Structure 1
Amino acid sequence: MIRIVPLIMVMYIVSYLDRVNVGFASVTMNADLGLSATAYGVGAGLFFVGYVLLEVPSNLVLRRVGARRWLARIMVTWGLVAAAMSMVHNEWSFYTLRVLLGIAEAGFVPGVVFFLTLWFPRDVRGRVTGAFLMGIPFAVVLGAPLSAGLIQFGTETLGVQGWRFMFLAEGIPAVALGVAVLFLLPDRPETVNWLSVEESTALNRKLAEENEFAESHGLGTVAAAFKDWRVYVVAAFGFAANIGGYALSFFLPQVITGLSATFGTRFSLMQTALITAIPYSAAAVAIWFVGKNSDRTGERMVHIAVPLALGAVAVGIALYLPSTIAVIVAISIAAAGSYAIIPIFWQLPPRFLTDAAAATGMGIIASLANIAGFISPYITGALKDATGDFKTGMWFVSGVMILAAALAASVARRPEFARLRPGTQPPSRGQL
């Protein structure tokens, strides 16, 4: 964990910041480029077109060439495209670079999740995945004031449009980190010198025992992943989490800025950034403790249904509350509910998929889940233009999350989704 988790966490912080820093830029960029809320929402969501289409192929390539080489390639290319966002000059160049950024980053998250199945047994994988995915809230907690500071520095000191300088400055670290990954990220236990032969053999034996069930029933092929209905159930959980998460990521700075009209409180760009960090701090805490408790109990579905239901209620009522503080508290609950389930649902596919099917299934799940990354900002932006505020868009987000919570509750007693105590094996084929 010490040798692997901090590195992949830093990788995801850089990745996610380059994906969502357009939300910080939008406060001034939209006016500079003449973008409506709908046009901005389309551009923010177009990231996911190439991302969705290439998730499965990317994960299959990663399985063939190794995580170290492929993740390094992903990081270098997305860093170059992220930096190129500084050259956006109109609506169509904005759209084009967002599509290219999605193509460059495709396969990163499911690739890392698949990589973790090669290193960590099931009993600890939830908290390890949670530690990796804490890069999401940390990217905002750290990135919000960083992005605001870079925008201000570019505007006030360099005399340029600050959001352009921000894109350039935040894209370069991904390229450098991608080069470092080639030297720092290990592919498999047997390829490192800091494990003895006995240690790597014991670890691989443990992982092989966990995979034995799926392998013995032919659940290791690419075709098996596409045919398995459980893949699509897990994807639905990811879709709901992303509907909530991306609505907040892309529009929260604008929502906070809009509170000034409601409550007469005006925020500077830096104050907006710092307030934006509050819900993501709550999300970071929720990711860690929900993932840890889920590992401890071996229970997954309650740990999906309850956070989604709480988040759905919170996001639905947030903009009707009577004060800025109350709104931020509700949005914090919504963020915690959306993000807390992400490391949990990623633990489900290895129960019934292995080998090529695991790589494929995780790619399918990531692809379908990330369709929400287009739908969420587009619908939220379009409803904002149509109604004049974000309330209707938040009710849409709430509805999707509550439906997914109901789905989790409905399948909770099926053997493949039921509580699995640490140290026990998945159910037999007959039970499934």
Structure 2
Amino acid sequence: MLLWLVASESKKTTDRGVGAMKKTNVRTHDVSAIYKKIDLRVLPFLLLCYLVAYLDRVNVGFAKLHMQSDLGLSDAAYGLGAGIFFIGYAIFETPSNLLLTKIGARKTLSRVMVLWGGTSSCMLFVNSETSFYVLRFLLGVFEAGFAPGMIYYLTLWYGRERLARVMAVVMLAGPIGSIIGSPLSTWIMAEFESVGGLRGWQWMFLLEGLPAVVLGVVALKVLSDTPAAAPWLTDAEKTLHSTLVQTEASDHSSLRTALKDPRIYLMAAGYFCLISGIYAMSFWLPSIIRDSGVDDLMTIGFLAAIPYVGAIILMQILSRSSDRRNERRWHTAIPAILAAACLAGSTVFKDNLAAALTCLSFGTALMWAAYTVFWAIPPQYLKGTAAAGGIAVINTIGLMGGFVSPTLIGYLKSLTGTTEAGIFAMVLLVAVGALLLAANRPPSTTRPANSNAAAAQE
């Protein structure tokens, strides 16, 4: 599936470049060759890295099924521990992304992966509420900067008229990580239970954390800091690529100027609400399924994977529609409000697992689709240092939703004894997020010359 997605992206990129080539007198097959190389060199590796990152971030949701009782954690304590990851992440994210522009993506992403992979594996040593909090916090500290750094890195390789589709490929890590991670995590927990005197959840943290360390080392060899530094592009290809991507206009050229723009914070607030819903599902879906009466670990794992199959399909459809129309705002706001309605519907059918899971599946898919297109918005008017810092600021503020939502659901569940109140809170947050996303008008409806010409050919 990964090879098909990359090949498809390469073909779409070529098609979109036809009009631009007519205007710049550059042969279409030259552009095709460049983007075929970039697609195959950049996208699969980043997708794999982000998949491992997402898995290490949310596997605590499956560990909860046994770890909570082993350690005597309350639902509120678990929710706080799951969410405290994002506190560490938020504190160190912007500095990490600004450092990326100084030392390069290769060293930055390598450092991040090695440190977070080692910390994730160390989760096997958790033996108390305090150690749970400390290691989750450190995991956030060490992973800080990876996602926004990756997004900024992609803006160096792809023009903004291609970004939604490219993001849709890399952001597949979330749903794929959930599809793979759900049965994988529960299988490890079941099969490795008591092996070597360790519980199944301890083996899960160990085995799922080590791949990040390996990928961090490999990144030093695989990644190039910029297109100009890529040894696998010829000088002619580098020159052509710079005319396709780096000449696009930007409303902000410095971080200081960008941070004065209220649209940055409007985007961040909308993103915060969207992320709250996404991580609520990531951390609590296994528990919601168990509370509905399903006790078998493997069954829980497979049922928890269902919502993300639809997410993969909808992410591709919505991102391509967004690129084709060069429209981002309504491609995020409308799916978000529909997602809120679906989450609300899941509580109506709480006594019917099939109906509730259907609502949760549609809601999750819609939130992921909106999330994918959202990340094509900031690069529309942020560039260079402003892009690196601005994207990090948006992601930092937004990812606090990853702290708020599991913590809030845990608190409300401890208070009421059910997850319904928590889900209703997520409905409200996602609905508010939809309104904020709709209110965020783009700075300009003018496309770069390349984009206009490309669109004319579609």
TM range (shorter): over 0.9
Structure 2 equivalent of residue 225 of structure 1: 258
In the TM superposition, what is the alpha-carbon distance from 1:363 to its structure 2 partner?
A: 0.6
Could you say what secondary structure the match of 2:306 adopts? helix
Q: Does the CA contact (< 8 Å) of 1:62 and 1:70 recur in 2?
A: yes
Change over 3 Å in CA distance of 1:417–1:276 after alignment to 2: farther
Which among 340, 343, 356 is matched to residue 327 of structure 1? 356
Could you say what secondary structure the match of 1:4 adopts? helix
Q: Return the letter of the residue paired with 2:211.
A: P
Structure 2 equivalent of residue 175 of structure 1: 213
Structure 2 equivalent of residue 318 of structure 1: 346
Change over 3 Å in CA distance of 1:415–1:134 after alignment to 2: closer
Q: Does the CA contact (< 8 Å) of 1:134 and 1:288 recur in 2?
A: no
For residues 177-196 of structure 1, what are the structure 2 equivalents within 5 Å?
Answer: 177-196=215-234
Distance 1:242 1:415 in 2: 21
Which among 276, 280, 289 is matched to residue 243 of structure 1? 276
Structure 1 equivalent of residue 310 of structure 2: 282
Distance 2:382 2:153 in 1: 14
In the TM superposition, what is the alpha-carbon distance from 1:143 to its structure 2 partner?
A: 0.8
Question: Which stretch of structure 1 is more off in the superposition, 341-350 or 112-121?
Answer: 341-350
Q: Does the CA contact (< 8 Å) of 2:190 and 2:200 recur in 1?
A: yes
Distance 2:369 2:165 in 1: 11
Runs of 4+ in structure 1 over 4 Å off = 156-159, 417-422
Which among 64, 78, 102 is matched to residue 140 of structure 2? 102
In the TM superposition, what is the alpha-carbon distance from 1:201 to its structure 2 partner?
A: 0.9
Structure 2 equivalent of residue 368 of structure 1: 397
Distance 1:131 1:424 in 2: 20
Give deviations 1:167-210, integer Å, cap 9, x for gaps. Answer: 01111111011001110112211212322211111111222221
Structure 2 equivalent of residue 134 of structure 1: 172
**Aligned residue pairs, count:** 413
Distance 1:272 1:13 in 2: 21
Q: Does the CA contact (< 8 Å) of 1:242 and 1:372 recur in 2?
A: yes
1:416 and 2:443 are equivalent in the alignment: yes
**Which structure 2 segments of 5+ residues have no match?**
1-38, 453-458
Could you say what secondary structure the match of 2:317 adopts? helix
In the TM superposition, what is the alpha-carbon distance from 1:282 to its structure 2 partner?
A: 1.4
Distance 2:57 2:145 in 1: 14
Q: Return the letter of the residue paired with 2:334.
A: V
Give deviations 1:74-94, integer Å, cap 9, x for gaps. Answer: 000000100000000000000
Give deviations 1:13-37, integer Å, cap 9, x for gaps. Answer: 1001001000000001000000011
Could you say what secondary structure the match of 1:55 adopts? helix
Structure 2 equivalent of residue 429 of structure 1: none
1:303 and 2:355 are equivalent in the alignment: no
Q: Does the CA contact (< 8 Å) of 1:318 and 1:331 recur in 2?
A: yes
Q: Return the letter of the residue paired with 1:323.
A: N
In the TM superposition, what is the alpha-carbon distance from 1:64 to its structure 2 partner?
A: 0.9
In the TM superposition, what is the alpha-carbon distance from 1:124 to its structure 2 partner?
A: 1.2
Change over 3 Å in CA distance of 1:94–1:372 after alignment to 2: same
Q: Does the CA contact (< 8 Å) of 2:250 and 2:383 recur in 1?
A: no
In the TM superposition, what is the alpha-carbon distance from 1:54 to its structure 2 partner?
A: 1.1
Which among 253, 270, 273 is matched to residue 286 of structure 2? 253
For normalisation by structure 2, the TM-score amounts to: 0.87
Which among 270, 273, 277 is matched to residue 301 of structure 2? 273
Distance 2:268 2:363 in 1: 20
Distance 1:277 1:329 in 2: 12
In the TM superposition, what is the alpha-carbon distance from 1:308 to its structure 2 partner?
A: 0.2
**Which structure 1 segments of 5+ residues have no match?**
261-265, 426-432
Change over 3 Å in CA distance of 1:28–1:354 after alignment to 2: same
In the TM superposition, what is the alpha-carbon distance from 1:320 to its structure 2 partner?
A: 2.1
Root-mean-square deviation over aligned CA pairs = 1.6
Q: Does the CA contact (< 8 Å) of 2:244 and 2:450 recur in 1?
A: no
For normalisation by structure 1, the TM-score amounts to: 0.93
Q: Return the letter of the residue paired with 2:352.
A: S
Distance 1:407 1:238 in 2: 9
Give deviations 1:61-82, integer Å, cap 9, x for gaps. Answer: 1111111110000000000100
Q: Does the CA contact (< 8 Å) of 1:42 and 1:378 recur in 2?
A: yes
Q: Return the letter of the residue paired with 2:280.
A: A
Q: Does the CA contact (< 8 Å) of 2:274 and 2:429 recur in 1?
A: no
Percent identity, aligned pairs only, is 38
1:202 and 2:243 are equivalent in the alignment: no
